[in-house]
Chains A and B, each alone.
Chain A
Amino acid sequence: MNALTEFAVSPVLDVHALQLGIGGKDAQRKLVRDVSFTLRRGRTLALVGESGSGKTLTALSILRLLPDPPVRILDGHIRFGDTDLAHVTAAGLRQIRGSGVAMIFQEPQSALNPVMSIGRQLREAVLAHEKLDRKALDARVHELLELVRLPDPARIVHEFPHRLSGGMRQRVLIAIAMAGRPRVLIADEPTTALDVTVQREILDMLAGLQERFGVAILLITHDLGLVSDYADEVAVMYAGRIVERGPAQGVLAGPLHPYTRGLLGARPGLVRHGDGKPPRLAEISGSVPANLDSIAGCPFSPRCPLAGEQCRLRAPELLVAADGHFVSCFKQGLNA
């Protein structure tokens, strides 16, 4: 996609220079640094990273779902319309949760109330956003269940969560999320707990909802494979920072950051082999550092095959490298 036409698609949510930290003044540690991205109407941005990269923290901070204390927004803006979610009051936040920005989680089991019927949980969600009489309410619940392609809505409303499969529970959660007609949907690893064939159905269904209602989706995932199939844009996070961001196809076809390149090279199953020894996979040596503040320079430098003196002294900024493609690396695009 051309970056110029992409800018024309109206921005819905703008995260700018977000910083998250944990702990008091004396022992403060930064968890997320300088994260910026824009969600656009009808488009999907994938936020990709491994455990500890800060992708889920970033997502949770948008709806201020992080417990404060200990986790605090230290700096930055989260603009949604005229509101800055980073500084909004509790009442203002309630207005936006669900009807402006909605969220679905990884574990549908723990996000549903086990002792409440599906119908009651859906009615509650609808009533949080609009006043309807019983008949209109039931019709709306029915409509939501059909929206997420749950078979036999008349029966499902009487069921309890434990009677449904994981895939059906995730559909119920998506129906609840759609109840407020949100403009932004944050999906935090929505299919990680599900089987691949079910994952496919759920993501295809979400893509259908996006097409129909123009909702902007922030897809949090550790699975790069999903990016090319479902995202328009991708932001790769490592150690609390976005290290590369750009059009999904462009980043996957021409990754510039050594971490992104490493991740793409580490994926198995790309080379066919039959008999004999399987080919070696490219490795990223080491693991994510536990204490990020201990690293002065680029956070990836201890694991980076290209790291030089400069990389260990200071952290590179996220700079534009090509049309809409940003990378934070002094040695971008070089080969090891």
Chain B
Amino acid sequence: MSANLLEIDNISVVHHKNGQTFKAVDGVSLHLAPGETLGLIGESGCGKSTLARTIMGLYRAASGRILFDGADISGAKWRRRSRAVTRRLQMIFQDPQQSLNPRTPVGRIVEEPLLVHGVGGRDERRARARRLLERVGLGADAGERLPHEFSGGQRQRIGIARALALTPDLVICDEPVSALDLSVQAQVLNLLVDLQDELKLSYLFISHDLAVVRHMASRVVVMYLGRIVESGPVALLWDGARHPYTKALIAAAPSGTPGLPRREKRALLGDIPSPVDRPKGCAFHTRCPLKQKICTESDPALRSAGEGHAVACHFA
């Protein structure tokens, strides 16, 4: 048996769009240890949300394996998965506005996972929902109110309470603070850290915001157009990124530090290509400052670049 809680082995997911098929996730492998936070960063079209939804069983993988605590769950969509697995694997969504039923009282929203899994009696379930809402910092009367009566930050707390109702081991956080204002974002991030500590949770933390991932994660995976281009410990990646895309991402993040001159301009060209027309060879070559002939012809494999560090580039 492996020591990893989650192991993804060479997984691909195919999407259909306007009669065309394309690989939204293309041969991605990663692993996550119990209690760890793995950050997943990348921009639109990189496949990070598709990957999250595939782990959750909302999409089916075209090939590859997903092992959750040693059990292969890649074949089945969530309805067919065993209750023992779905209970332990939960998700927090980006937009609490859209992921909470507007007509359902908040207490019932948090109680629902318990109901689905047949946990406890009615009174027990309600008491647990109340405790969860209190734990995430909502008042005692929150349970009777509807989602629209809460602010964005409070709604995200409701989403967190719902995800924790079944005492999961792994929580997939898909851009959990992207829709929140800065002052509220800090509250939610602190809450996630405290809950992780208290409940020994593992997080797969997905964000386009490098600062947030740097804060939360110990290891980071960088994706571009469906593939991993670089991965490694967060500190190492921050100071010693090897892939030109990772470097550009870090350079593009606003410094926000007074006194520092505007960061040196890097020469990233143009926009991200659509994943439907993935460029031949290395997918990043259309924007890469290091591009050579080989980059348009052959796709670099992800190879080790030292301890726990991997990079997919001909020249890194």
Contact = CB atoms under 8 A, between A and B. Distances in A.
B256 interface: yes
A196 B252 contact: yes
Contacts of B256: 224-229, 252, 267, 270
A165 B44 CA distance: 11
A281 B189 contact: yes
B184 A268 contact: no
Nearest to A271: B215
Contacts of A224: 182, 256
Given A225-B253, A281-B190, A268 B271 contact: no
Contact of B255 (A151, A198, A229, A288): A229
Interface string A167-185: 1100000000000000000
B185 to A, nearest CB: 7
B229 to A, nearest CB: 13
Interface in B243-271: 248-249, 251-260, 262-263, 265, 268, 270-271
Interface in B42-64: 43-44
Interface string A150-165: 0100000000000001
B216 interface: yes
Interface residues of A, number: 53
B209 to A, nearest CB: 8
B183 A269 contact: no
B252 A222 contact: no
Contact of A228 (B183, B238, B258, B287): B258
A165 to B, nearest CB: 4
B225 interface: no
Given A280-B190, A281-B189, A284-B183, A269 B258 contact: no
B182 A266 contact: yes
Contacts of B274: 165
B190 to A, nearest CB: 6
Contacts of A204: 265
A224 B153 CA distance: 19
Interface string A269-280: 111111111111
A223 interface: yes
Nearest to A198: B271
B197 A277 contact: yes
B211 A197 contact: no
Contacts of B182: 50, 222, 224, 263, 266-267
A190 to B, nearest CB: 14
Interface in A105-121: none
B218 interface: yes
B151 interface: yes
B32 to A, nearest CB: 14
Nearest to B250: A196
B218 A275 contact: yes
Nearest to A253: B258
B235 interface: yes
A222 B255 CA distance: 15
Interface residues of B, number: 53
A199 interface: yes
Contacts of B31: none
B234 interface: yes
A50 B183 contact: yes
Contact of B252 (A200, A267, A269): A200
A284 B189 CA distance: 13
Contacts of A229: 254-256, 262-263
Which has the most chain A C-beta neighbours within 10 Å: B211, B254, B265?
A: B254
A200 B43 CA distance: 13
Given A222-B182, A272-B235, A283-B187, A167 B255 contact: no
A272 B216 CA distance: 10
Which has the most chain B C-beta neighbours within 10 Å: A50, A263, A268?
A: A268
Given A268-B189, A287-B151, A222 B181 contact: yes
Given A229-B255, A284-B183, A196 B208 contact: yes
B30 interface: no
B183 A266 contact: yes
A167 B272 CA distance: 9
Contact of B43 (A51, A197, A266, A283): A197
Nearest to B218: A275
A274 B210 contact: no
B254 A223 contact: yes
A1 interface: no
Given A195-B43, A229-B254, A274-B218, A269 B210 contact: yes
B233 A197 contact: no
Given A198-B272, A268-B186, A274-B233, A287 B153 contact: yes
Interface string A202-242: 00100000000000000000111111111000000000000
B273 to A, nearest CB: 9
B16 to A, nearest CB: 19
Nearest to A238: B183
A245 to B, nearest CB: 15
B276 interface: no
| Shortest Cβ-Cβ A-B pairs, 6 listed | A269-B211, A225-B254, A268-B215, A225-B256, A195-B43, A252-B258
20 contacts: A50-B182, A167-B271, A168-B271, A195-B208, A196-B249, A197-B268, A198-B43, A222-B181, A253-B259, A262-B183, A266-B182, A268-B211, A268-B212, A272-B238, A277-B193, A278-B189, A278-B215, A279-B215, A281-B186, A284-B183
Interface of B: 43-44, 151-154, 181-187, 189-190, 193, 196-197, 208-216, 218, 233-235, 238, 248-249, 251-260, 262-263, 265, 268, 270-272, 274, 287
Given A196-B253, A266-B186, A284-B183, 4 more contacts: A229-B255, A267-B256, A269-B213, A283-B187
